[in-house]
Structure 1
Amino acid sequence: MPPTNRSFTARLERRLGDWARARLPFAARELAMFVLKQGWACLFGGLLLAAILITKAIWQPDWPLARYDALVIFALATQALFLWFKLETWEEARVILLFHLTGTAMELFKVSAGSWAYPEAGYLKLMGVPLFSGFMYASVGSYIARVIRIFDMRFAPYPPLWQTFLLAAAIYVNFFAHHFLPDIRLALFAATLLLYARTRISFRISSRYWWMPMPLAALLASFALWTAENIGTATGTWLYSGQHPQHWVSFAKLGSWYLLLYVAFVTVTLVSRSALDPATKSRSSILSR
């Protein structure tokens, strides 16, 4: 039977902390724990990326199961195990599913528009989009939900919720609309700074709290996602229009990930607002009455 609470992961995290505290000076310890906790938070995405690399290295074209279909099965099994072993809560799973669906909708549109393609065969594909692609977006939602909990994050001062929802909706719509209308991403970049420039993310590594401006955190996370995307294109799992697997993904895609992270974060706040500053939570409770 799986653990009935988070004691398993709590013990594992505590053991990692005890190991670092016993062997490293303060600065090195904090850095080591930061890296370990970040890796633990992005476990879903890391496992999916590892599966992409391993399957690319070993898969043979004459095998009865297509590589894309194997990735779908792996992603489903990984998500089930995360819930079974309490690595994610059911509340987190609901918001991850929501981001999974919005990401899949964007994949269907972008592939049909020719922005990128999935060149390999597979049965578990919809309009040219393999079903594992939605789990790549789900891994971003999983990371955000888990990193908030693992680092005991707080966001303050947090903007009014209606403004964050409006900005997230504008960002999401622009991913579709710029194919037909002028691209407003420069205005959206400016809007993220205007709305979130004052927001500090407080996070605890071991016993001490640190903080970082929210736009800087989003930029660093988007760089990590851009790096992971380069691994995906290098393996030929998906390719942008006109791109060769040996070519780097355009730096413009880093900006796309930066904006999409705000959509993902606002999606998380739809079901979990415990990390937001009390003033924001008070406003949201008044609006919900």
Structure 2
Amino acid sequence: MNVKRAKESLIQLLLFGYHQAMSCIFPVAIFGTLALSRMVEVPFLHRYDAILLILLGVQLLMYLSGLETRDEIKVICVFHVIGLMLEIYKVHVGSWAYPEHAFTKLLHVPLYSGFMYASVASFMCQIWRRLRMDMTGWPGLIPAGLVGGSIYLNFFTNHFIIDVRWWLTSLVVIVFWKTWIIYRVRSKTYRMPLTIAFFIVGFFIWLAENIATFFGAWKYPDQHHEWHVVHISKISSWFLLVIISVIIVAQLKHVKADLKNKE
């Protein structure tokens, strides 16, 4: 009986890992492109321009192959714009820089940079569909929207007024205290507190950020002469960014579900 239960648990774990891996196709494509473009020079193209063209091609292939739906592409485009706006501001105030030349730069920021934020949206959309996710205790559009908007605004205002990320983190715990993620692997249903999921995803994005900066996707001020591990405090930033991602994706899923019910 114990052997049978262990085998069943292993199958569930492997399937869960499979869905996670399939949901990471676009993020992996980004890191693979960053690494490859660092080692192989593309003739007649600046590196940042080549990265943009490759990632556009990956997105097109994912759509044509059915790995991403039209609705998911729309969400990814929204995140690309949100991320690009944040990148432009952060580069302007000197938080980090893109030192290489490129034709596809907007205000010193390569256009491919928005895809790094869009990859988070791609993962969220994919894993939501693959694990047939749902949520209980969702606080609703107004509370969730106010929290998400405040977090995004703080990314801009923390350079000239006090950084309130820790206050916002406390607010997140309060607002989403009763919110749980429901996900399914085969016929079994599992659940997890949403705030824990925020932290887990934020931690893995921080790991990915270390890989990205190692391959020169961008550079922090202390990395211009020699690469260093990104400070662990950045996990809090990604934790908050993940919250924005989940709020937007979850709210769109709720709206779509409501429209289907009305039909």
What TM-score, normalized to structure 2? 0.91
Residue 200 (structure 1) aligned to one of 180, 186, 189: 180
In the alignment, is residue 166 of structure 1 matched against residue 146 of structure 2? Answer: yes
Equivalent of 2:228, from 247, 265, 275? 247
Report the equivalent of 1:4: none
Amino acid aligned to 2:13: L
Task: Report deviation, 1:274.
Answer: 6.8
**Which sections of structure 2, spanning at least 5 residues, go unmatched?**
1-5
2:3 alignment partner in structure 1: none
Q: Distance in 2 between matches of 1:269 and 1:95?
A: 11
> Structure 1 regions of 5+ residues with no counterpart?
1-23
What residue number does 1:7 align with?
none
Q: Structure 2 CA distance, aligned partners of 1:31 and 1:57? A: 35
Q: How far 1:195 moved relative to its partner?
A: 1.1
CA shift at 1:263, angstroms? Answer: 0.8
Kindly indicate whether residue 242 of structure 2 is the aligned counterpart of residue 266 of structure 1: no
2:44 aligned with 1:43, yes or no?
A: no
3-state secondary structure, aligned to 1:37:
helix
2:56 corresponds in structure 1 to: 76
Partner of 1:90: 70
After superposition, the C-alpha distances for 1:120-158 in whole angstroms (9 at most, x for unaligned) are 111111111111101111111111111111000111011
Tell me the amino acid that sits aligned with residue 131 of structure 1.
Answer: L
SS of the counterpart of 2:192?
strand
Deviation at 1:270, TM superposition (A): 4.4
Mapped to 1, the partners of 2:217 and 2:68 lie a distance apart of 27
Per-residue CA distance 1:2-43 (angstroms, 9 max, x = gap): xxxxxxxxxxxxxxxxxxxxxx81122122111111111121
Identity across the alignment (%)? 35
Look up the equivalent residue of 1:86 and give its one-letter code. Answer: G
SS at match of 1:265: helix
Count of residues paired in the alignment: 255
Q: Quick one: which of 198, 204, 214 aligns to 2:194?
A: 214
Cα offset for 1:49? Answer: 1.0
- Whole-Å separation in 1 of the counterparts to 2:41 and 2:200: 33
* TM-score calculated relative to the size of structure 1: 0.83
In the alignment, which residue of structure 2 is the partner of 1:16?
A: none
